[in-house]
Amino acid sequence: MNACPCCRPTGLGRRSFLGAAALASLAAGPLATPARAATPAAGPRMAPDQALAKLMAGHARYLAGAPVPVAHGAEARAARAAGQAPFAAILGCADSRAAPELLFNTGLGELFVVRNAGNVADTGAVGSLEYAVANLGVSLIMVLGHERCGAADAAVAAARARLSLPPQLSDMLQPIIPSALAALRAGGDVLDGTIRANIARSAARLVEVSPVLSAASTAGRLRIVGARYDLDDEGVTLMS
């Protein structure tokens, strides 16, 4: 898991830490927000549409080659050390060419990023995003897939024929295979169809399996969107 909610105490495993945080939050209610650490950059909770507009404005700066200078110096790092208040969360692919912080011209503490091969809404990703929404006040989750995704390509190959794969890799591909099968039935560009279907499937799964995210979405406190990054023109396009 690439995004970590906070520095965990020595000797406490990741699963135990996230479980304890979730239990503490749910004990007070489905969307209780525990007191945050002092966060100098924190402000009023941003509405979901405002968060999306801010995210896409950053991407427009990236495309225009006119990024706003982002503070990464010692002073900025010290300010962020007290706590975090990201305005959006990204469930993205681990592909080295699709780094959300660069694509959306953001700095330290602005995005809560979870990445794995194929931008899959697996247990670790869902739990991390629950933390971002319930504990950090995030109001926007973007599921960000990308053109020519290697995980999606492998899922298409696995859907077409039985492959001999290492156990962990095989397990990782399982959530993408239904999207590959749907794309094979639909015909056309099977790989791109798989990528788009997988984005939509991951976005839908977030509210299907998580009462925390479902309740926030129903109440209008959270918006979940899918988007596709094109490696050729470098554009991020929102999906309906």
| Model confidence pLDDT, tens digit, residues 81-90 | 888 999 999 9
Show the 3-state SS of the chain. Answer: CCCCCCCCCCCCCHHHHHHHHHHHHHHCCCCCCCCCCCCCCCCCCCCHHHHHHHHHHHHHHHHHCCCCCCCCCHHHHHHHHCCCCCCEEEEEECCCCCCHHHHCCCCCCCEEEEEECCCCCCHHHHHHHHHHHHHHCCCEEEEEEECCCHHHHHHHHHHHCCCCCCHHHHHHHHHHHHHHHHHHHHCCCHHHHHHHHHHHHHHHHHHHHCHHHHHHHHCCCCEEEEEEECCCCCCEEEEC
7 is in an annotated binding site: no
Predicted local confidence at residue 74, as pLDDT:
83
R_g (Cα) of the chain, nearest Å: 18
Q: What pLDDT is stored for residue 2 in this prediction?
A: 41
Predicted TM-score (pTM) of the model is: 0.81
Number of structural domains (the chain) is 1
Burial class, 226, CB count within 10 angstroms (exposed 0-12 / middle 13-18 / buried 19+): buried
Q: How far apart (Å, rounded) are the C-alpha atoms in residues 187 and 201?
A: 18
Q: Please report whether residue 190 resides in a domain.
A: yes
Phi, psi of 47 (to 5 degrees): -65, 150
The answer to the question of whether 149 is labelled as a binding residue is yes
Nearest to 224 by CA among 29, 52, 45: 52
CATH number at residue 67: 3.40.1050.10
With a CB cutoff of 8 Å and minimum separation 6, the contacts of 58 are 68, 104, 105, 106
Quick check: 36 pLDDT over 90? no
What are the backbone angles phi and psi of residue 123, rounded to the nearest 5°? -60, -45
93 labeled part of a ligand binding site: yes
pLDDT for res 162: 77
Return the percentage of the chain with pLDDT > 90, whole number: 68
The tokens describing 175, both together, are 């959530």
The residue segments making up the domain with residue 221 are 14-31+45-239
Look at residue 3 and tell me if it is in a domain.
no
pLDDT at 153 over 70: yes
Count the alpha carbons within 13 Å of 223 in the hemisphere toward its beta carbon: 17
When mean pLDDT is compared across 77-81, 106-110, 171-175, 188-192, the lowest value belongs to 77-81
In a domain, 109, yes or no: yes
* Residue 105 included in any domain: yes
Does the pLDDT value for residue 17 go beyond 60? no
Averaged pLDDT, 44-69: 92
- Do the domain assignments include residue 205? yes
State both tokens at 152: 């999606």
Q: Which of 59-73, 87-101, 128-142, 218-232 has the lowest mean pLDDT?
A: 59-73
Looking at every residue in the chain, the average pLDDT score rounds to 84
Residue 4 marked as a ligand binder: no
Asked whether the predicted pLDDT for residue 22 surpasses 70, the reply is no
* pLDDT > 70 in the chain, percent: 81
In 3D space, the residue among 151, 149, 129, 127 whose CA is nearest the CA of residue 139 turns out to be 129
Average of per-residue pLDDT across 2-14: 38
Residue 175 lies in a domain: yes
Of the chain, the end-to-end C-alpha distance in Å amounts to: 27
Q: Is residue 39 part of a domain?
A: no
Residue 159 belongs to some domain of the structure: yes
